[in-house]
Structure 1
Amino acid sequence: MNLFEYISDRASKLWLEAYLHTSMVVQCTVLAAILGVLIGIAVYRSPVGSAVATALASTILTVPSFALLGLLIPISGLGPTTAVIALVLYGLLPIVRNTIVGLDGVDPAVTDAARGIGMSRFGVLTRVELRLAWPAILAGMRVATQMLMGIAVISAYAKGPGFGAEVFSGLTNAGSTNSLNQAVTGTAGVVILALLLDGVYVLIKRFTVSRGVRG
């Protein structure tokens, strides 16, 4: 069976895997963004705190995917929960780092002016600083999403959903009739989804960042 026949015969299953893969990556990116932005807000005014937060997030990223999943499986078991925890942890670094950089890069004159017209500290943060830092935060989310698209394949080791199952089946059954078709289909599917999501980020940036800031 050639590749096109394989894809045609399993179209409904592949569409489901594509949906599950995309859904997991998007949800994990959102969770990582919420957590990462909160961490960034908590530490960006402290050089020591910023360095510690960035170092811890970097340390997580240095742990091999299989090793982290192996550590999580005894705690959260096989299935989507373990995959989600791993992906959220891996997605933190670019978001935390970019949040800190974005907030730290806000011109103090702008925040002083905001306070001068009576804004509260919370108002300055939410209505001025975070808005100005948004392009950097969005860039961090974009990087995190591309990273997680690939790492999500490894999550099939913990019975995570998505194209990872296709890739792992192909590698596990190497030499069988459809093993190459499975591996190629899963890999190509991830690449296509990554490109599509990257295009979505381009649109989000276009509609949420002013032309002057996009520069």
Structure 2
Amino acid sequence: MGFWEYLRSRRELLVFEAWQHASMVFQCVLLALVLGVLIGLLVYRSPRLSALATGASGVLFTVPSLALFGLLITPLGLGVAPSVTALVLYSLLPIVRNTVVGLSGVDRTLVDAARGLGMGRGRVLLRVELPLAWPVILTGARVATQLAMGIGAIAAYVSGPGLGEQIFSGLGRLGGANSVNMTLAGTLGIIVLALLFDACFLLLGRLTTPRGLRV
């Protein structure tokens, strides 16, 4: 069976798995974005805490993905729970780091000027610091999404949802009928999703970044 014929014959399954993959990545990155920004807000004023937060998330990032998925099987079992947990942990590093870098890089004279106008600490954060740091934070989320998109394929190792099932099934029956088609369909599907997500981030950046901060 040729590749295009394989795509036509498995169209509904492939669309369903692509939707699962996209949904999993979106939800995991969104959760990591909320957690990462909160962590960044808590530590960015302290160099020691900032180094600790980025270091801890960096240590998690160095754990091989297959090993982490395997370790999560015992406490969480198979399926969605270990998949989501692993993707959120891997997505934290670029978001935490970029949040700390973005907030720390805000010009202090602007912050002092805002305080001179009578703004409290909360208003300065919401009206000055976060908007100025947002492009850097968004870049972290963009990097995290691309990482999660690829690592999400390995979630099939723990029976997670998504296009990784095509890749693992194809590799598991290498040399058999449609093995190459399955692997190629899963791989190309993830590449297409990654490009679509990246385009969405570019659009989001243009819509949410103040005009004066756009590159």
Report the TM range for the smaller structure's normalisation.
over 0.9
| CA distance, structure 2, for counterparts of residue 71 and residue 181 of structure 1 | 31
Between 91-100 and 108-117, the greater mean CA deviation after superposition: 108-117
2:154 corresponds in structure 1 to: 154
| CA distance, structure 1, for counterparts of residue 188 and residue 120 of structure 2 | 50
| CA distance, structure 1, for counterparts of residue 192 and residue 72 of structure 2 | 29
Q: Which amino acid aligns with 2:15?
A: W
2:81 corresponds in structure 1 to: 81
Q: Deviation at 1:120?
A: 1.6
Q: Which amino acid aligns with 2:92?
A: L
2:16 corresponds in structure 1 to: 16
Please list every run of 5 or more consecutive structure 2 residues that lacks an aligned counterpart in the other structure: none
After TM superposition, list the pairs within 5 Å mapping 1:160-175 onto structure 2: 160-175=160-175
User: Is 2:125 aligned against 1:125?
Assistant: yes
2:179 corresponds in structure 1 to: 179
| CA distance, structure 2, for counterparts of residue 132 and residue 77 of structure 1 | 42
| CA distance, structure 2, for counterparts of residue 211 and residue 196 of structure 1 | 24
1:3 corresponds in structure 2 to: 3
TM-score by length of 1: 0.98
2:43 corresponds in structure 1 to: 43
1:132-173 CA distance string (max 9 Å, x none): 110000000000000110000001111110000000000001
TM-score by length of 2: 0.98
Please list every run of 5 or more consecutive structure 1 residues that lacks an aligned counterpart in the other structure: none
Runs of 4+ in 1 over 2 A off after TM superposition: none
Q: Deviation at 1:212?
A: 2.1
Q: Deviation at 1:59?
A: 0.6
Q: Deviation at 1:209?
A: 1.0
Q: Which amino acid aligns with 1:155?
A: A
1:197 corresponds in structure 2 to: 197
1:31-87 CA distance string (max 9 Å, x none): 000110011111111111111111111111100011111111111110111100000
1:65 corresponds in structure 2 to: 65
Q: Secondary structure at the match of 2:106?
A: coil
Identity of aligned residues (%): 56
RMSD, aligned α-carbons: 0.8
Q: Which amino acid aligns with 1:42?
A: L
Q: Deviation at 1:15?
A: 0.5
| CA distance, structure 1, for counterparts of residue 212 and residue 182 of structure 2 | 46
